[in-house]
Structure 1
Amino acid sequence: MTVRHLFPPLTLRATGLSWGRGGMALGANVSFSVTAGQCLLLRGPNGGGKTTLLLTLAGIIAPLDGSFAIAGAGEDERVLHYCGHRNAIKPRLTVQENLAFWAEVNGATGSPAKAALDEVGLGHLADLDAGYLSAGQSRRLALARLLVSHRPLWLLDEPTAALDSEGHELVTRLLDRHLDMGGLFIAATHDPITLPDLARMETLVMGQQP
């Protein structure tokens, strides 16, 4: 079955970008671009600046130098999801209530909550308090946020963290379909991520700055 393109053709382009925290640069004078249907994997050791780069691209941390922009997006259009390494789950809400909360915050423009939970393998736990989920199940719930609100750009920090082999296959399937829909993503990951079409993938290897 062919997946129809859902998103406008966007390009995220960084030029001479430097980023860091507390005045310490973790990456300097880096340029790259990611277009619709493509992805960029950030690889490297802990402390190499992968998370800080994602936070910079998400607009949470200001760049130290250089610039980046998303071409093709409307001025007021909400185009990105940032999914950090922490799952941002409210333990006293049920699994479905957590997802409904995020759909309300980000806009219920994607799959209904029940369908999203079924897709990530949590449909049978919809009425369970989220505090009882395992680490892997919590990660699946965090990923379900990407499905209930359509946004073309995904910024993902360790999307496969705590997941078993079946969970890794789920992530690969979600990412590949997102690209099929005309989306793009940047993912920081220690785990290998391999999509069926290797031509869609580029890697930026990062390391601790001296």
Structure 2
Amino acid sequence: MTFSVTDLACRRGQITVLRGVAFDVAPGEALVLRGPNGAGKTTLLRTLAGLTPPVEGDVNPDVCAYAAHADGLKGQLTVAENLTFWARIFGCSDITPAVAAFDLGPLMNRRAADLSAGQKRLTSLARLPLTGRRIWLLDEPTVSLDTANVALFGRAVAGHLAGGGSAILATHIDLGLPETRTLDVARFAASLHPTAKVDDPFAEALE
């Protein structure tokens, strides 16, 4: 099923930064978000993930898995324990495919606190397939990864796409993904829509 967004407005804090966002992502397709720093790429991803309520429009976060900058790991738990914890939350009974896809076998008995930054990142990303969700929302997912592990992650995303999943990602790295389109987030800047309502608590009183 195609993932569709129509006339979505997103805010950062109390400021609306995006209006009129519209796009479709088909099964097996990746959509790469482009735009300068501050354009609203992270804001859009957080809104799609349900972490920030939209100003206008609707989102369906229940079909989305979000990978942000924070690794979200318990330092005192091993890699195996961290992944098992997340798997149980999403009703997944087998972490083996995720472990294999992210080459985490040698790290399974190591505490998350003892991992390198790149190893923590891989472990964090390995939670994505455990969610069983078809839309992966990825915000600069390759931070802290070396060249080999960027390629490893690219293959994991390609596998997700091949299985009928989709990905929406903000990244400056070419992951070599098939069926990739780009979306310039800057075209939806709220300042380009002067007729839209303003998020100003005093606006109505001044009209």
Question: TM-score range with shorter-chain normalisation?
Answer: 0.7 to 0.9
CA contact (8 A) 2:151 2:175 kept: no
Between the aligned partners of 2:71 and 2:135, the Cα distance in structure 1 is: 18
Q: Deviations over 1:106-153 (max 9, x none)?
A: 2215xx324422331221111111001111111110111123332211
Go from structure 1 to structure 2 and tell me whether the alpha carbon gap of 1:108 and 1:84 turns closer, same or farther (over 3 Å shift): same
CA contact (8 A) 1:12 1:69 kept: no
- 2:34 aligned with 1:43: yes
Would you tell me which structure has more helix in proportion to its own residues?
2
- 2:162 aligned with 1:183: no
Q: Percent identity?
A: 42
- Paired residue secondary structure (1:65): coil
Structure 1: unaligned runs, 5 residues or longer = 1-9, 71-77
**1:1-210 counterparts in 2 under 5 A?**
10-68=1-59, 78-108=62-92, 112-195=94-177, 197=178, 200-207=179-186
Between the aligned partners of 2:60 and 2:22, the Cα distance in structure 1 is: 12
Q: Deviations over 1:5-59 (max 9, x none)?
A: xxxxx22211121111223122221211111111211122332211111111112
What is the aligned-residue RMSD (CA, Å)? 2.0
- Paired residue secondary structure (2:58): strand
Go from structure 1 to structure 2 and tell me whether the alpha carbon gap of 1:21 and 1:149 turns closer, same or farther (over 3 Å shift): closer
Question: In the alignment, residue 64 of structure 1 is paired with which amino acid?
Answer: V
Question: 1:75 aligns to what?
Answer: none
CA contact (8 A) 1:15 1:66 kept: yes
Please identify, of 179-188 and 24-33, the stretch whose mean Cα deviation from structure 2 is larger.
24-33
Structure 2: unaligned runs, 5 residues or longer = 192-207
CA contact (8 A) 1:42 1:206 kept: yes
Question: In the alignment, residue 164 of structure 1 is paired with which amino acid?
Answer: D
How many pairs were matched up? 189
Question: In the alignment, residue 45 of structure 1 is paired with which amino acid?
Answer: P
Please identify, of 87-96 and 114-123, the stretch whose mean Cα deviation from structure 2 is larger.
114-123
Between the aligned partners of 2:163 and 2:133, the Cα distance in structure 1 is: 11
Between the aligned partners of 1:16 and 1:149, the Cα distance in structure 2 is: 28
Q: TM-score, normalised by structure 1?
A: 0.82
- Paired residue secondary structure (2:57): strand
- Paired residue secondary structure (1:187): strand
Structure number with bigger Rg = 2
Question: 2:204 aligns to what?
Answer: none
Between the aligned partners of 2:119 and 2:55, the Cα distance in structure 1 is: 36
Between the aligned partners of 2:31 and 2:22, the Cα distance in structure 1 is: 12
CA contact (8 A) 1:120 1:141 kept: yes
CA contact (8 A) 1:15 1:68 kept: no
Between the aligned partners of 2:55 and 2:185, the Cα distance in structure 1 is: 17
